Structure 1
Amino acid sequence: MKKLIVVLFCVLVGIGITGCESLFFWPSKQLVPSPEVLKFTKEDRFFTAEDGTLIHAWQIPVQGTKKGTIYFLHGNAQNLSYHVANVFWLAEKGWEIVIIDYRGYGRTAGEPDFASVQQDALAGYQALLKERQDDTPIIVWGQSLGASIAINMVASLPENTQPQGLIIDSAFSSHQRIVRETLGNFWLTYPFQYPLSWLFTDDYAPEQSISRIDNVPFLFVHSVQDPVIDISHAKTLYQLAHEPKQLWISPVPGHIASWNDEVWRDHLVCQLNRWPALNTQEAACDDLNLAAVK
């Protein structure tokens, strides 16, 4: 209901496109004690965006031999202390985690909009490259809104600074399309889904930029029972992306819920261990020692 009120307010008072962008961002400033609850160690990191905004991040060191780094861009609600539950477990499998908060989220200053969160993601990624002390792969993992940010960020990078892979998890293909579909689910806004969606720019729509990414392996993951973003969005992006690419269709119900399933976690670890070669989800652990993965 709160989101509906914001939409109607945008219409009634004639707020421009950028004013209604706030619908996509639902930050929380309060961090929850996820390191203590989930039993992992983190280090606080700070990066500076191009406009001087201070960006807060957590870095989770690996346990044992480092295999690579996951640069994680989370979804639109809460902050990194909530979203880290999706990825912290990879640290014990040899994957360092760097997860940032966009401006307005957690301990990061400022207010978010489509352009500024791109600055924030880029600032963290550039700092990661600058401080890199090994040649292990960097894989950018974008989840939900973070997937659109990840696609736009990588599409803007020179080839020599591109990551070694992209995981696109539960993504939408277009801001206008997801607004139309969301409004279409409620009887009061159903008749206005098209005109109201025009209040939002598609300048940062992933479907507009994904084809500019070359020579970066794509792993798309989406639940066939995602109640928030229909799987057709993932299929659209998959069709537009260049090879090499794989689409993993999850049966796990819910939005960004696949990693609650231990089998899907194991198969992702297998896939990461064979990166940059891609495989289907069902065959991800073929010819690998699953006991070693666990």
Structure 2
Amino acid sequence: MPLAPHFHAMLRTKDGVRIDAAHTPPRDTAERRADLGVVLAHGFTGGWRNGTARRIAHVFSGFGGVVCFDFRGHGRSGGTSTVGDLEVLDLDSAVRHARSIGYRRIAVVGFSMGAAVAVRHAGLHGGVDAVVAVSGPARWYYRGTRPMRQVHWAIERPFGRLIARVAKRTRIARGPWDPIPLSPHEAAPLISPTPLLVVHGDRDAFFPIEHAHQLYGAAREPKELWIEPGYGHAETAATPGLIRRIGGWIRTTLTEA
């Protein structure tokens, strides 16, 4: 099946960073779907142009329009990655773009780093109608798994940042956070009354399910937790079936709101 067409856009954040984005219109133009927009926030070193992201956008376009974008420091966006801090401004620009092209109801779906950004954005900035955090961390500086130790090496070491730049087209800012930004589990209770869905796999190699439980436990109602048997991490492990279920949750949640 061919992927749904998309329309390119170049956005600008409130701090002046150019953000590369794309809009995929809804495949079903019925009124109840035509005003629903899904904004996708990718994981660290990801991007909207890769095949996995395009397939996810295609599935979501069966439920509403989709806005995808590259975080700062990723792909063709400007700036450097702050790995979850200033990225809330990137997401905010994508949400504002979705509103500007006519979507009244906006759901943000974030994966891994994008999940942390989605939670922090909803808690700190608001302006969305539903939040889905998939495979997200609950707290910063987690090094309890080998993949996360490798991520920290890429972020903290000059040679690691060089490898990320060359191999993953990800440009990472130098130096530690100052100040340390509000963590996802600290931002989670600020989301209410916006509905929150936390999705996590029991085979996530980056963040064990304790992160999902911590995030869910910190949030206030309305909230929902899905622990998915056999599911690994973020976009690369997400099946079309799981994406359709998330799309169904968004449609039901925002229809009943």
- TM class by shorter chain equals 0.7 to 0.9
Shift, 1:182, TM fit: 4.3
**Which of 220, 229, 239 is residue 260 of structure 1 equivalent to?**
239
**1:184 Cα offset (Å):** 8.9
Match of 2:170 in 1: none
**What is the aligned-residue identity percentage?**
21
Deviation at 1:174, TM superposition (A): 0.9
Corresponding residue for residue 117 of structure 1: 87
In the alignment, what sits opposite 1:164? Answer: 129
Matched to 1:243, the amino acid is E
Letter of the 1:168 counterpart:
A
CA offsets 1:100-154 (integer angstroms, 9 cap, x no match): 101221111121114432221222222323x14353x210111100011111111
Match of 1:50 in 2: 14
| TM-aligned CA distance change 1:126 to 1:216, over 3 Å | same
- Which structure's relative contact order is higher, taking Cα pairs within 8 Å and 6+ residues apart? 2
How many residues align? The count is: 223
Of 110, 119, 123 in structure 2, the residue corresponding to residue 142 of structure 1 is 110
Distance 1:183 1:168 in 2: 20
Q: Which residue of 1 aligns with 2:139?
A: 174
Distance in 1 between residues matched to 2:58 and 2:208, nearest whole Å = 26
SS of the residue 1:219 aligns to: strand
Q: Deviations over 1:257-276 (max 9, x none)?
A: 553153x3443343233114
- 1:50-199 paired onto structure 2 within 5 Å: 50-65=14-29, 67=33, 68-82=36-50, 83-91=53-61, 93-113=62-82, 114-129=84-99, 131-133=100-102, 135=104, 137-157=105-125, 162-176=127-141, 178-182=142-146
Amino acid of the residue matched to residue 66 of structure 2?
Answer: I
* Alpha-carbon distance in structure 2 between the residues aligned to 1:105 and 1:169: 20
Deviation, structure 1 residue 166: 0.5
- Structure index of larger Rg: 1
- Structure 2: gaps of 5 or more residues: 154-175
CA–CA separation in structure 1 for the residues paired with 2:54 and 2:210 = 26
Does the 8 Å contact 1:148/1:204 carry over to 2?
no
Q: Which runs of 4+ in 1 moved over 6 A?
A: 183-186
Task: Name the Cα RMSD after superposition.
Answer: 2.6
